[in-house]
Amino acid sequence: MSELEKSLKDKLLKREQENSLRRLTFSANLIDFTSNDYLGLARSEELFRSIQQKVNSLSHSNGATGSRLLSGNNEYTEQVEQKLAKIFKAEAAVIFNSGYAANQAVLSCIPQKGDTIIYDELIHACIRDGARLSWANRLSFRHNDFNDLESKLKKSEGNIFIAVESIYSMDGDLCNVKELTALADKFNASIILDEAHSTGIMGEQGSGLSVSLRLENKIPIRIYTFGKAMGVHGACVVGSKNLIDYLINFARPFIYTTALPPHSIASIDCAFSCLNDHGYLQNELSEKVKLFRSEANKRKLSVMNSESQIQGIVIPGNSEVKQAVEKIRTNGFDVRPILSPTVPAGTERIRVCLHTFNANHEIQSLAESLSML
């Protein structure tokens, strides 16, 4: 065995001993309480047909053929970007291949040497990775603790960037964007807001948390992703025209990657048109969340403090939470364990994602199953 193979095997063995080894799985015939398809658009036959019709109306091209700066740009993509900018109430928008790529692009190329990035300790890995690629100083603050954030702001140098999420993917709680913008104003800091889990489910036309609060003008850099509630794929960054022109010129994940194919651009376009025609889906999701929390409280489940579609039941220990999940899955519910090191040791949890297509009796049955652990 080569030194490389031995090194890989040793690291995998260590993960296995810690009971945190990840494996690819898929579920059949289980009730979905784990996907990010919050509004059911990924399974929508109406949206599927709409996308096919739009694709058939475009030039018959299977791929983008190159990066946007070479052969991968076209009039239709720019029209969709203009549509997104209007929905998100921004001067301009630029599409990226994924939310991961968009966040990595922003964090890696905008903050410069001598600047400071301060991020919530529960921020997504792509923001951490992007920050590592920049030459800026990096600090974290305790989750949603703005007193701690202020103490870090007082130590910061250069241009200051605060990176947060609107809805946190592991805890399901919201950022207090109103308080955050006031603090950013006080220290002349720029907010980078990842709206991944609020895209589609909040705000008019799915415009997210910041627009729903009418605070979009206080947040210069916003990232929206389409692979969750919108049911398709891709992402965009919105902000000023200067911001978008800067990313086109300096963001390596934009410059050096093949653009999304026409089918993906059409999917984004049609998904937002579909949501515009079915705005009631947001209210339906909200009612499902209320029902789950009501059923959980009746049964005295130790649910985390979340009013969003992401709910967590803490069961400390990787082995313990994995065993609990297996019991729930044998009852027909697709839930997944969230293990350390993804979350801090001792906060391992069953993550429950609620959807518009989850029937009320399914939600009640899931709560009952959880109460039997």
Secondary structure of 179-233 in HEC code, one letter for each residue: HHHHHHHHCCCEEEEECCCCCCCCCHHHCCHHHHCCCHHHCCEEEEECCCCCCCC
At 10, list the tokens. 């040793």
How many Cα atoms within 13 Å fall on the side-chain side of residue 179?
A: 11
DSSP element (H, E) containing 120: strand 116-120
How is the chain split into domains, by residue range? 19-38+279-371, 46-277
19-38+279-371 is classed CATH 3.40.50.620 = no
What is the residue type of 372? M
Written as tens digits, the pLDDT of the chain (373 aa) is 899 999 999 999 999 998 888 888 887 799 999 999 999 999 999 999 999 999 999 977 899 999 999 999 999 999 999 999 999 999 999 999 999 999 999 999 999 999 999 999 999 999 999 999 999 999 999 999 999 999 999 999 999 999 999 999 999 999 999 999 999 999 999 999 999 999 999 999 999 999 999 999 999 999 999 999 999 999 999 999 999 999 999 999 999 999 999 999 999 999 999 999 999 999 999 999 999 999 999 999 989 999 999 999 999 999 999 999 999 999 999 999 999 888 889 999 999 999 999 999 999 999 999 999 8
Is residue 268 within 8 Å of 117, Cβ to Cβ?
no
pTM of the model: 0.94
Q: Hey, do 19-38+279-371 and 46-277 end up sharing a CATH topology, with the first three levels equal?
A: no
How far is residue 269's CA from residue 79's CA, in Å, rounded to a whole number?
A: 9
User: DSSP assignment, residue 111?
Assistant: S
How far is residue 209's CA from residue 197's CA, in Å, rounded to a whole number?
A: 9
Q: Is 343 left (phi over 0), alpha (psi -120 to 50) or beta?
A: beta
pLDDT in tens, 317-361: 999 999 999 999 999 999 999 998 888 899 999 999 999 999 999
Where in the sequence numbering do the catalytic residues fall?
36, 124, 165, 169, 194, 197, 228
Give the dihedral sign, CA 234/239/241/247. negative
pLDDT in tens, 86-137: 999 999 999 999 999 999 999 999 999 999 999 999 999 999 999 999 999 9
46-277 is classed CATH 3.40.640.10 = yes
